[in-house]
Structure 1
Amino acid sequence: MPALRIHGYALAVSFCLITFIAASLPTDPSEVDALIEIKNSLIDPKNNLKNWNKGDPCAANWTGVWCFDQKGDDGYFHVREIYLMTMNLSGSLSPQLGQLSHLEILNFMWNDLTGTIPKEIGNIKSLKLLLLNGNKLSGSLPDELGNLPNLNRFQVDENQLSGPIPESFANMTNIRHLHLNNNSFSGELPSTLSKLSNLIHLLVDNNNLSGHLPPEYSMLDELAILQLDNNDFSGSEIPSTYANLTRLVKLSLRNCSLQGAIPDFSSISKLTYLDLSWNQITGPIPSNKVADNMTTFDLSNNRLNGSIPHFFYPHLQKLSLANNLLSGSIPGSIWQNMSFSAKDKLTIDLQNNSFSDVLGNLTPPENVTLRLSGNPICKNSNIQSIGQYCGPEADNKAAQDSTNSTFCPVQSCPVDDFYEYAPSSPVPCFCAAPLRIGYRLKSPSFSYFAPYRSSFEDYITRSLDLDLYQLSIDSVAWEEGPRLRMYLKLFPSYNDSGSSMFNESEVHRIKGIYSSWHFPRTDFFGPYELLNFTLLGPYANLNVDSKKKKNNVGIKISAVIAAVACALAISAIIILLISKRNMKYQKKISRKRMSTNVSIKIDGMKAFTYKELAIATNKFNISTKVGQGGYGNVYKGILSDETFVAVKRAEEGSLQGQKEFLTEIELLSRLHHRNLVSLIGYCNEKEEQMLVYEFMPNGTLRDWISGKSRKTKGSLNFSMRLRIAMGAAKGILYLHTEANPPIFHRDIKASNILLDSKFTAKVADFGLSRLVPDLYEEGTGPKYVSTVVKGTPGYLDPEYLLTHKLTDKCDVYSLGIVYLELLTGMQPISHGKNIVREVNTARQSGTIYSIIDSRMGLYPSDCLDKFLTLALRCCQDNPEERPSMLDVVRELEDIITMLPEPETLFSDVSLLNSGNIAPPSSATTSTSNVTREEQHMSSYVSGSDLVSDVIPTVVPR
């Protein structure tokens, strides 16, 4: 023991010396010299970089210089980020940038820099974001930039760069965003870019490129946006191989001098935006329908002939076929059957073709702008009221968003331009200072913003971890591109303190998310760019480098911390040595107390010996482990009579007192229902506590929903999901109404619903369950139990969280979450997304089918709607608005009786076309030669089958 104590003391002293020495080391001197040279090459009229000659960069808070929190192996701090966006800088980029060998982000966006891009930047192997857009840089791109293996985003758009795109860029193996638009690049598109397997956005529009479109780009498996507008690919055709870009959301090849025919893009299930206008494309419009979720279809100003195919696109916003050689009839199906909301808008431009009449209803809804001038139909006197579509007319105005009608006295807000009323605040007349952010969508996949405004607001606030009312969108305007520019106002959260502005750390956090591009990927809204994040008014004096400042303060006082750390290290070692001895002694006492067996006989429960269960599980071998929870591990076992069982073995820290353990067993021994997992026996000896359950060979519902089940590669179809929902409901109903005394489960979740060999659902894990004694009155059900909140986040009843009152409606809420999981495949909480909020938002915006789990195949839409309504009723915040478990069971019985007979579904394809049967929301296409209707039919599996494997492509509105 003395030797051990001396050894520990020596370690502590060594730790003190190392910490003290390390505290005195500053930024890498070579990086300091590089920063000075960088500053000398810049012209700084606003003197933003005035502190770049004072002290150490990482310790003295140099403007726009961010360092790593920890020192490198060489004992120095290193620069991680240069953030000099919108600082009115001119001058040039210094070659000394290449000396910043640990740099990850280089951001000079929206300045007036001139000169060339230094080839030395190619030496920064750690670089992830290279952001030089919005300057006046000229010259060619250095080949050396291809030596950046970790580069994720390369933005040099809106400069004056020229020359070819280097072949070496094919070596940027991690690049995902390549933005070269609005320059003067020439030559051909390098076919070697097809090696960029991670590329998702390729924007090269508005350059002087020529040659042919590389067919090899069909190998870009992740590519979602390909935008090459306003280049000169004279004589080139659109490669038919581009139909293999199955993840493509937007294809824009406007004004590229393209020839030939339009390839068949019907296999691209995610395609939303197709612009091939102002080319020399010939032939007919392909008869195979493009993806149903198309918003923009622009084939104007080509040489197309033939007629318009009879297509119906439920999300269509713009169809432009003007200035072609098309003829025949105009199908009214273009606008018929579309359900327009007040914000929806559709423009159909068919001018200057040879259309002679309209099939179906000529008069479109008010939301539709129809242009027919320059067609024979406008001279046909037999068609009434045609004139209104044949003359020059302006677009219908899109519906305006409702404004806040709350009257607020002007004098309540400070009289300046920096404070204003938060328009959507839950507290009327909440006056605050918003952050003002310039923001632009560089390549959106829609033509009108209003219908997607709410989903965009939800996307922004979720990404920033803000509430919806904290965002207000100002000054939305389309720009050349087309690109969508807007100004965002972010309001602070209203709380009891009544704070009217964000604190420094919140401003820093929000700015960090924008500047580091930490928004989750969304191909529909496309890549964004931050135009400005200027701090005005009460924010003007904030230091948004607050996190860095704290680190710098830490550097300055690190010697003091080192001394304190020395003392703590010595004390900790001494305490550790003493506590280890005490812990060993206490464990011995605890185990002795626990190992004192109390003989008790529980009817119907077998008391297993440790030896029996060890043999059954091969000594609890890891190969028999089938699960794990907070209580301990679960093992698959085979008893001597060849019965399969699940053995839940408590870990040492989870052991209960013997009385509590046996009380739980007595409780479980009284529960007998086909939808509850049966307890077979227990073991309570040799410092062991184990419960032995019937074995459930198909695992947990959560595994099946998430696709992690190892039993099959398929997934549960809609019919099976309904029956599983029913089984779980019946099990919980038994607990609430038939168990004596009644029981509140308190931990209903998908991982606690198990599936037997016939996929019968059984509720399991009663470790958190509570009895409901003495709460029954004559003619009434259980009320509540006051208890500490326990359960699983995401499944917890909000009312229970607030009041600590556990009721039967708490289980109803949790079960509703499980039902939403069954319908969507989502998790209750994932990446800041709450499943109830996601589903409600999708339902209100009319996009509910887009989030329905496509793996469950075909489903009757009326059955799905009723099941969805039931699930959301179960998840109401107010417990009084939730149904009882008895009501849940009855409603599920009604829905199940509505399911069509499987034979009818297979034999009558017309059901699909009638709208009674809804297809899944999205998926990959089948490569077989069957028709689309046959694909839909084959994806429906009856209740007697287990899984569905074929997933069709249609996205219902």
Structure 2
Amino acid sequence: MEGVRYCGYVFIITAIYCCFMMQFTVAQITDPAEVLALVSIKNGLVDNMKYLEDWEKGDPCTSNWTGIHCFNKVGANGYLHIKELRMMAMNLSGSLTPELGQLSHLQFLNFMWNDLTGSIPEEIGNIKSLKLLLLTGNKLSGSLSDQLGYLPNLRIFQIDENQISGRIPKSFSNLNSVQHIHFNNNTLIGQIPPELSNLSTLLHMLMDNNNLSGYLPPEFSILPRLRIIQLDNNNFSRSEIPASYGNMSSLVKLSLRNCTLRGSIPDLSRVPSLHYLDLSWNQLSGSLPNKLSNNMTAIMLSHNRLDGSIPESFSSLPLLQKLTMDNNLLNGSFSTNIWQNKFTSTSSLLIDLRNNSLSDISGTLEPPLNVTLRLQGNPVCKNENVRNIVKFCGSEAGAEHKTNNSVIVTGACPIAACPKDNYYEYVPNSPVPCTCASPLIVGWRLKSPSFSYFDPYVRQFEQYMTRDLHLDLYQILIESNSWEEGPRLRMQLKLFPVVGVSTFNKSEVIRISDILQYWEISVVDLFGPYELLSFTLEGPYSYLNPDIQAKHKNKGAIIVIVVSGVFAAFASAILTVLIKKRQAKYQRILSRKRLSAKLSIKLDGLRSFTFREMTLATNNFDHSNQVGEGGYGAVFKGILADKTVVAIKRATEGSVQGQKEFLTEISLLSRVHHRNLVSLLGYCDEEGEQV
């Protein structure tokens, strides 16, 4: 009779729980049309790393499909809608399907750094809500559809480093919110549409390394906010540099290297913000610009047909880092005033005047160590009256001075106390010496910086990054930096938690990831546009892979999980009471050694977990993961190393049982099976914990 009553209790509890959960499982949470679109999108992809396996389980929004992020509130039709697709660096191949256009509420589309082929679906042009279109670093081909020009909210349009061909559609002049057009490193052809001068919000135009031709549109000079024009390695053989470019008061960088341009250099004296001018490897003639902005860091005019003397005004540019005018027809005298009174320990200056017709040197030819001077191929090299001239004219002359941002660890710290093989290391700039922590590793690239040497701006860059990430200055380390073709500056950053904490908690990782992935770092003219190359989650952060946001809950999902979790905890608490009443009957059968001594029991394949596994699964039992609480202890949502989602019940200090009692409960729970009850996977009995 007692057994019948016990089974009755179990049946009632499971039946109530089943009915409760059916309220959430019967109804579709995400818009059905968008779910079907996601299925079609997945079918078009080849997922070699199996990142998208969970796209076949549950609802996209409430089950947190990898890379899928939803709005917190239901839409007018009563469904949740997809807000973001974050598929960066998932080793995906295959192609993008037209069904992308059915994600009508999408704001963020990121497939950067994959191996996608095929064309960009024109149906993306139907997503009027789209703000970021990021397809950098794939093998996409074909031409650009006119339909992509009708995205009224698009802010960033990145298709660089692909194989896109054809012409730039004139319809792109309708992108009236766009700030960044990054089309570089493709095979685009034809004229840049002058209609793009309608883009009043445009900040950066990067179209270098294509096959563009025709002429440079003079209409660009009316763009009020345009900061960067980078069109290197195209063929504008019919064009001169429009004189109207001298009226672009906001221009910071003008880079037209190797564009087959002819004519003269326009008057740029009315461009007060200009930092960087690269007009090298063209067919320009005439004299050098007489006056340039005091903000100039780089003047690159090599391999042209420029003549005349070097303007004295070049000696009054306090921030100059690179002056390259080799292989021209320059004559007259060169003044050594150009490097006077402008150097700090991190400054560098390259002056390349090779293969011109310079006949004399004005001033003392004793440049500081940080100055690289190249004079080979000038008549002055034969003037024996100029002191020290030989060292700047020989074949070995002018080895460029390079500096590196190295890691400095202050103080002597114990070697074994912070083992790197466990993903922990000393924080070099910590205010507390020998602080040991595990950093987040970020691959970062400046796509068009307005300088040639980074060292003078390292501190400024660190301040800029930590300000927008809301970190203290000591929490960032530039571990390495190197220049790439472009020129672009690639770096690896390490972000450390605050002093006193060895790791970032989950919410902090998510916060930082959101800022980096959603392009919320402000764009500073000096550093220019940027891109996230990688966001590495290793060691104590590996449980957050592959998609950091899979741990981010929208409100609808939180309500379902928390409410159902509380009910699960309630049901679990009732079962625990019933089980305790039955413990005496089973003590004789279950008398064994202590669990902490690793009892050799096999209860339907139950696993003995380590306490470290439990802490990693729950982010150290973070409060944000708690989904319920009963008389025995709190219930947490956890994710195991194999990505299995589990409920983890941890006994509170006052509820810890004896070893036999704990084993009895495990044994009984392992025998309770019902389709509406989750299965018991295992237990943990280490460090005085019962989980």
TM-score normalised by structure 2 residue count: 0.76
**Rounded Cα–Cα distance in structure 2 between residues aligned with 1:159 and 1:21:** 43
Matched to 1:542, the amino acid is L
The answer on 1:433 being equivalent to 2:438 is yes
Deviations 1:574-616 (Å, cap 9, x if unpaired)?
xxxxxxxxxxxxxxxxxxxxxxxxxxxxxxxxxxxxxxxxxxx
> Helix, strand or coil: the match of 2:486?
coil
Matched to 1:40, the amino acid is N
Deviations 1:818-855 (Å, cap 9, x if unpaired)?
xxxxxxxxxxxxxxxxxxxxxxxxxxxxxxxxxxxxxx
C-alpha distance 557-415 of structure 1, shift in aligned 2 (>3 A) = closer
Kept in 1, the 8 Å contact 2:64–2:550? The answer is no
- Give 1:560 deviation, angstroms: 7.2
C-alpha distance 415-146 of structure 1, shift in aligned 2 (>3 A) = closer
The residue that corresponds to 2:44 in the other structure is: 41
- Give 1:174 deviation, angstroms: 0.3
**Rounded Cα–Cα distance in structure 1 between residues aligned with 2:24 and 2:423:** 48
Structure with the larger helix share: 1
The residue that corresponds to 1:365 in the other structure is: 368
- Give 1:68 deviation, angstroms: 0.2
**Rounded Cα–Cα distance in structure 2 between residues aligned with 1:294 and 1:147:** 38
**Rounded Cα–Cα distance in structure 1 between residues aligned with 2:38 and 2:405:** 50
> Helix, strand or coil: the match of 1:69?
coil
C-alpha distance 400-205 of structure 1, shift in aligned 2 (>3 A) = closer
C-alpha distance 415-245 of structure 1, shift in aligned 2 (>3 A) = closer
1:492 maps to which of 486, 494, 497: 497
**Rounded Cα–Cα distance in structure 2 between residues aligned with 1:266 and 1:58:** 55
The answer on 1:243 being equivalent to 2:246 is yes
C-alpha distance 76-291 of structure 1, shift in aligned 2 (>3 A) = same
The answer on 1:407 being equivalent to 2:424 is no
Alignment of 1:886-925 (within 5 A): none
Structure with the greater relative contact order (CA < 8 A, sep ≥ 6): 1 or 2?
2
2:538 maps to which of 526, 536, 539: 536
- Give 1:396 deviation, angstroms: 1.9
**Rounded Cα–Cα distance in structure 2 between residues aligned with 1:527 and 1:400:** 21
The residue that corresponds to 2:463 in the other structure is: 458
The residue that corresponds to 2:660 in the other structure is: none
Kept in 1, the 8 Å contact 2:229–2:255? The answer is yes
Matched to 2:348, the amino acid is K
The residue that corresponds to 1:554 in the other structure is: 558
**Rounded Cα–Cα distance in structure 1 between residues aligned with 2:57 and 2:274:** 54
Alignment of 1:808-819 (within 5 A): none
- Give 1:546 deviation, angstroms: 6.2
Name the stretch that deviates more: 403-412 or 36-45: 403-412
1:329 maps to which of 323, 327, 333: 333
The residue that corresponds to 2:574 in the other structure is: none
Matched to 1:536, the amino acid is E
The residue that corresponds to 2:682 in the other structure is: none
Kept in 2, the 8 Å contact 1:181–1:205? The answer is yes
The answer on 1:53 being equivalent to 2:56 is yes
**Rounded Cα–Cα distance in structure 2 between residues aligned with 1:492 and 1:553:** 29
The residue that corresponds to 1:315 in the other structure is: 319
2:480 maps to which of 435, 450, 475: 475
Q: Which runs of 5+ in 1 are unaligned?
A: 1-19, 564-957
Deviations 1:190-215 (Å, cap 9, x if unpaired)?
00000000000000000000000000
Matched to 1:224, the amino acid is R
Deviations 1:299-345 (Å, cap 9, x if unpaired)?
1110000000002210000000100000000022211232x111100
- Computed over aligned residues only, the root mean square deviation of the Cα atoms, in angstroms, reads 1.9
Kept in 2, the 8 Å contact 1:191–1:216? The answer is yes
Alignment of 1:558-573 (within 5 A): none
> Helix, strand or coil: the match of 2:109?
strand
The residue that corresponds to 2:630 in the other structure is: none
**Rounded Cα–Cα distance in structure 1 between residues aligned with 2:544 and 2:91:** 20
Kept in 1, the 8 Å contact 2:255–2:279? The answer is yes
Kept in 1, the 8 Å contact 2:544–2:551? The answer is no
**Rounded Cα–Cα distance in structure 2 between residues aligned with 1:470 and 1:160:** 39
> Helix, strand or coil: the match of 2:164?
strand
Deviations 1:613-648 (Å, cap 9, x if unpaired)?
xxxxxxxxxxxxxxxxxxxxxxxxxxxxxxxxxxxx
The residue that corresponds to 2:124 in the other structure is: 121
Kept in 1, the 8 Å contact 2:72–2:554? The answer is no
**Rounded Cα–Cα distance in structure 2 between residues aligned with 1:354 and 1:171:** 50
**Rounded Cα–Cα distance in structure 2 between residues aligned with 1:413 and 1:541:** 21
The residue that corresponds to 2:648 in the other structure is: none
**Rounded Cα–Cα distance in structure 1 between residues aligned with 2:419 and 2:387:** 59
The residue that corresponds to 1:275 in the other structure is: 278
The answer on 1:75 being equivalent to 2:82 is no
**Rounded Cα–Cα distance in structure 1 between residues aligned with 2:103 and 2:39:** 12
- Give 1:557 deviation, angstroms: 4.6
**Rounded Cα–Cα distance in structure 2 between residues aligned with 1:535 and 1:178:** 30
> Helix, strand or coil: the match of 2:280?
coil
- Give 1:479 deviation, angstroms: 0.3
The residue that corresponds to 2:301 in the other structure is: 299
> Helix, strand or coil: the match of 2:244?
helix
**Rounded Cα–Cα distance in structure 1 between residues aligned with 2:560 and 2:544:** 21
Q: How much identity, in percent, do the aligned residues show?
A: 58
Aligned residues: 539
**Rounded Cα–Cα distance in structure 2 between residues aligned with 1:23 and 1:89:** 32
**Rounded Cα–Cα distance in structure 2 between residues aligned with 1:520 and 1:55:** 37
Deviations 1:49-74 (Å, cap 9, x if unpaired)?
00001010000010000000011111
Alignment of 1:133-148 (within 5 A): 133-148=136-151
Kept in 2, the 8 Å contact 1:404–1:423? The answer is yes
The residue that corresponds to 1:178 in the other structure is: 181
> Helix, strand or coil: the match of 1:549?
coil
- Give 1:561 deviation, angstroms: 12
- Give 1:240 deviation, angstroms: 0.4
The residue that corresponds to 2:93 in the other structure is: 90
Kept in 2, the 8 Å contact 1:209–1:231? The answer is yes
**Rounded Cα–Cα distance in structure 2 between residues aligned with 1:557 and 1:478:** 48
Matched to 1:324, the amino acid is N
- Give 1:220 deviation, angstroms: 0.9
- Give 1:451 deviation, angstroms: 0.3
> Helix, strand or coil: the match of 2:492?
strand
Matched to 1:479, the amino acid is E
**Rounded Cα–Cα distance in structure 2 between residues aligned with 1:426 and 1:469:** 8
**Rounded Cα–Cα distance in structure 2 between residues aligned with 1:410 and 1:551:** 46
Alignment of 1:145-294 (within 5 A): 145-287=148-290, 289-294=291-296
Name the stretch that deviates more: 467-476 or 548-557: 548-557
